[in-house]
Structure 1
Amino acid sequence: MTNDLAERKAAIRREALARRDAMDEAERIDASLTVGDRVADHVTAAPAVVSGFLPIRSEIDIRPLMMRFADRRARLCVPAIVSGELQFRELLRGAPLEPQGFGTYAPGPDAAVLDPELMLVPLAAFDRRGGRIGYGRGYYDRAIARLRGKGLSPMLIGVAFACQEADSVPMDDHDVPLPLIVTEAGMIQP
C-alpha cells in the first residue's frame, strides 16, 4: 500500500471513529439492536457457522444478533489472532476467553477452529460502493482470501453505525469490498 493511500485511510478511520465515539451510549445500544434485527431478517437461511466479534470501545455490539443465530442452531466463532492472522475459534457459553490485543477477547487455543459460512465484519469506516476500512492491519482481508483459497465463499456482511459512513473509501488491490453493509439507517447493497 502506498504511503499516500495509507495516510488517506488513516484519516478517514480517525474521523469515522471520532463520530462513532461521539454517539450517546443509549443511541449505540438502540442502533446495535436495530442492526441486529435487520441482519436477522435478511439472513433467512440458517448458516451452520457464523463468525462475529466481541465489541471493543464504542464498536457496534452484535452479541444479541449472534445469540439469534445460535438460537437457529448456528455454531458461533470469533477471531483470535494467531501468528499475525485471524483464526476463527468456536465461541461456547462459559468457555474461558483470552486477551487478543486491541482490547478484545477470544477463546483459547483448545477451542475448535471453524470456517464461517457467514462473516459479520466489523468496520471502522465504509462507503456506498462496499469499500471498508478496518483497524489497519488487513486481518479480515487476508482471512477472507484464505477462505476463498480453500474454495469457500462465506456470505460477508459489514456491520456498523450510519455515522461511520465516508464519502469514498480508497481501496487497494487486496482490499475485499463488501456486498452488503447494514447500519441502523438501512442496508447498503452496492
Structure 2
Amino acid sequence: MTSRTLKAGLRTERLVLRDAMASEARAAASLKMREFGGNAIEIEPGQIVSGFSPIRSEVDIRPLMEQLGARGARLCVPAILDKTTIVFRELVPGAPLVDTGFGTTGPGDDAPVVDPDIMLVPLAAFDRTGHRIGYGAGYYDRAIDLLHRKGRQPRLIGIAFDCQEVASVPAEPHDVALDAVLTESGLRVLNGNW
C-alpha cells in the first residue's frame, strides 16, 4: 500500500469521526481551544498570525483569532488564487468578507498580502510527532515551502479535534512537521524550536 493510499484512508476515517461530532460539542471544543491557546501561543505585538474561516465540521478558531488579535497579533487568512496557490490576506476589523475559495471567506483582492510568522493550520489527521494529513490539495504544503524559500520559518500549529489524532502519519520527504498541535485538550508543543 502506498503512502498516498494510507493517507487517503486515514483522512477519510478521521473526517468521518469529526463530522460525527455534535455541533454543540464542536462549539464547546472550539471555545476550549481559545481558552487553552489564546494565552499559551507566544506572540510578539505586530507578528502576523494566519488563521482560517471554518468549513464543514472544522474547528471554529475565530474566537481564538480574536483573542490573539487583542494581544497585538496582525491576523490574516488564506485566499485561493488558482488550483495550486494560496496567499494570505490581512484581515482587518470592518473589512468586507468575500468568497476566497474552498468554501471559505476572507478579505478581497484589495487587502494586503502578507507572510505569516505563525500559521494555524487546518488538517484532517495528525500524529504525536507533528506529521499531518491535509485535505489532499497540497495548498499549505506549497505555501510553507514558498515561505521557506523566502527565508521565513513560520511556527506551524495544527488545529484539530482530539478525534483526529492517529497513531502514525506516513511521512514523505517533502512533509514539514508541525511545531505544535492545539486541540480541545490543550496545546501540545512537539519540537524544541518553539
Q: What TM-score range do you get, normalising by the shorter chain?
A: over 0.9
8 A contact 1:46–1:69 mirrored in 2? no
Contact preservation (8 Å) 2:37, 2:186? no
Aligned residue number for residue 10 of structure 2: 12
When the two chains are superposed, the root-mean-square deviation of aligned CA atoms in Å is 1.5
Task: Name the CA distance, whole Å, in 2 between partners of 1:101 and 1:156.
Answer: 22
TM-score with structure 2 setting the length: 0.91
Counterpart of 2:59 in structure 1 is: 60
- Residue deviations 1:137-184, cap 9 Å, x none? 111111111111111111111111000111111111111110211111
What letter matches 1:50 in structure 2? Answer: V
May I ask how many residue pairs the two structures share in their alignment? 188
Do 2:132 and 2:177's aligned partners in 1 also have CA atoms closer than 8 Å? yes
Residues 51-95 of structure 1: CA deviation (Å, up to 9, x unaligned): 000000110000001111111222110001113211000112332
* SS of residue in 1 equivalent to 2:11: helix
Which shifted more, 60-69 or 40-49? 40-49
Unpaired segments ≥5 residues, structure 1: none
Q: Which deviates more from structure 2 when the two are superposed, residues 94-103 or residues 81-90?
A: 94-103
Which residue in 1 is equivalent to 2:115?
115
Structure 2 stretches lacking a partner, 5+ long: none
Determine the C-alpha separation between the residues in 2 that align with 1:125 and 1:76. Answer: 25
Distance (whole Å) between structure 2 residues aligned to residue 87 and residue 35 of structure 1: 25
1:100, distance to aligned residue in structure 2 (A): 3.2
1:23 aligns with 2:25: no
Letter in 2 for 1:43: I
Matched residue type, 2:66:
M
1:20-68 deviation per Cα after TM superposition (whole angstroms, max 9, x unaligned): 0111111111111111222222224335211000000110000001111
Q: Is the partner of 2:15 in helix, strand or coil?
A: helix
Cα shift at 1:107: 1.7
Which has the higher mean CA deviation after the structures are superposed, 54-63 or 134-143?
Answer: 134-143
Identical-pair percentage: 54
Residues 43, 73 of structure 2: 8 Å contact kept: no
| Partner in structure 2 of residue 77 of structure 1 | 76
Distance, in Å, in 1 between the alignment partners of 2:96 and 2:11 is 31
TM-score (norm 1): 0.92
**Alignment match, 1:135:** 135
- Give the residue type in structure 2 aligned to 1:119: M
**Aligned equivalent of 2:34:** 36
- What is the alpha-carbon distance in structure 2 between the residues aligned to residue 24 and residue 186 of structure 1? 20
User: What is the distance in 2 between the residues matched to 1:102 and 1:144?
Assistant: 18
> Is the 2:79–2:101 contact (alpha carbons within 8 Å) kept by the matching residues of 1?
no
Which residue identity lines up with residue 88 of structure 2 in the other structure?
A: F
